[in-house]
Amino acid sequence: MGLNDRVSHCAKCEFMKMYDYGNRIYYCDHADRIDDMGKLGVDHPPKTIPMWCPLRENVNE
C-alpha cells in the first residue's frame, strides 16, 4: 500500500503496528507523523483516522 492509496482507517494501513505487553498497544510507525508516540489505541485500532495522520490528506482527495 503506497501513500497514494486510500486508507479508510488505521486497521488497513501498512504503518499500523502492534505490541502486546499485557494489553495490545496499537501505534503508527510512519516517519512523517507529527505525534511523537504515534499511539492509536489500546486493545483495538481506532475506527477513525487521527487528525495527525500523515496519510489523512490523501484520504480526503
- Quick one: how far is CA 54 from the chain centroid? 9
pLDDT of residue 58: 64
pLDDT tens profile 3-61? 445 556 788 888 999 999 899 999 999 888 887 788 888 998 888 888 888 887 765 55
pLDDT of residue 59: 53
Report which residue type is found at 20.
Answer: D
Q: Residue 20: CA atoms inside 13 Å, Cβ hemisphere, count?
A: 2
pLDDT of residue 7: 56
So where are the chain's domains? 10-59
List, in order, residues 6 or more apart from 18 with CB less than 8 Å away: 24, 25, 26, 27, 45
